[in-house]
Amino acid sequence: MAVNSFVDKLFKRVLGSNSDVFLKKINPIVGQIAAFEPTLEKLSDEDLQAQTQKLKDHIASALDGISDKEERRKKEQNILNEILPEAFATVREASVRVTGMRHFDVQMIGGIALHQGRIAEMRTGEGKTLVSTLPAYLNALTGRGVNVVTVNDYLALRDAEWMGKIHRFLGLSVGCIQNDMDDYERKEQYSSDITYGTNNEFGFDYLRDNMKFDPETLVQRDHYYAIIDEVDSILIDEARTPLIISGASDEATDKYYTANLIIPKFERGEKNEETKITTGDYL
């Protein structure tokens, strides 16, 4: 143990910690973001808002003609990394105009970490709520939806209204899932570019969707990208408590009784006879 500890310390002194290595890689990106600032500051509100469609068109153009899902996914990530500096700079300028708050470099670093799927630990007062607007905007440009997960309904609604001002200014739609919403309202909120809600609301909606037979009644769309606030609490502490759906159903149960009577009469497939050949799993 002592030898391993000594080797670890030696490597950290020579190569730096994981955080040091990460910072060395992304510091140039922070510089690229800053380089866009003088140009964006001079734009009118209309021209700044036009940045969103410009970036969307760039993504669509790069993905045009790619049908293979895996190839498309990799290409999409490469494009997002490519436009990240301009997208983050756009959000920074929009935030200054709409909220009066300017993202600092440390917040840009946090935003890059979140975009890369990392955990960003930020101290109180470093503006983690503002940080989330950066990767949320960038990934929402794909049109595939972004979920921002908070710990309670109050924070979800507050952040959707407060940070939503930035996204709405830039032409993105913002939704918020609340406990008292019906399926129609939930589906409408999930169709937004960016949707705020609690981990319980997202989790229960997922479970309910998996119990439905008609695709038209599903409220969530395909999952693409999520930002989780208080990640240690949600993914570790609260993960010990299972989400369980219980209670009386409004639907008729006749179909279940009918299925229970019919299924035992099925014959397993692959039973070959002279006058009867079955090849399915059940017939």
Cα-Cα-Cα-Cα torsion 17, 18, 23, 24, nearest 10 degrees, comes to 70
**pLDDT at residue 74 is higher than 60:** yes
Dump pLDDT digits (tens) for 239-253.
888 888 875 566 667
Dump pLDDT digits (tens) for 173-229.
999 999 999 999 999 999 999 999 999 999 999 999 998 989 999 999 999 999 999
Q: In the prediction, which pLDDT does 283 show?
A: 37
pLDDT interval class at 259 (50, 70, 90): confident
Q: In the prediction, which pLDDT does 102 show?
A: 96
Q: Which of 20-34, 74-88, 266-280 has the lowest mean pLDDT?
A: 266-280
Q: In the prediction, which pLDDT does 125 show?
A: 72
How large a percentage of the chain has pLDDT more than 70? 87
Q: Which of 31-45, 115-129, 153-167, 194-208 has the lowest mean pLDDT?
A: 115-129
The mean pLDDT value of the chain amounts to 88
Using CA atoms, how far residue 162 sits from 55, 101, 133, in Å, is 24, 12, 11
DSSP character string of 24-93: HHHHHHHHHHHHHHHHHHTS-HHHHHHHHHHHHHHHHHHHTT---HHHHHHHHHHHHHHHHHHHHHHHHH
CATH topology of domain 2-240: Rossmann fold (3.40.50)
Q: In the prediction, which pLDDT does 250 show?
A: 63
Residue type, 171: G
**pLDDT at residue 144 is higher than 80:** yes
Dump pLDDT digits (tens) for 12-25.
554 456 777 888 88
**pLDDT at residue 101 is higher than 60:** yes
Domain locations in the chain?
2-240
Q: In the prediction, which pLDDT does 273 show?
A: 52
Length of the chain: 283
Structure tokens at 90: 């756009």
Residue for token pair 């990934």: 139
Q: Which residue has the higher pLDDT, 211 or 123?
A: 211
Is the pTM here over 0.85, yes or no? Answer: no
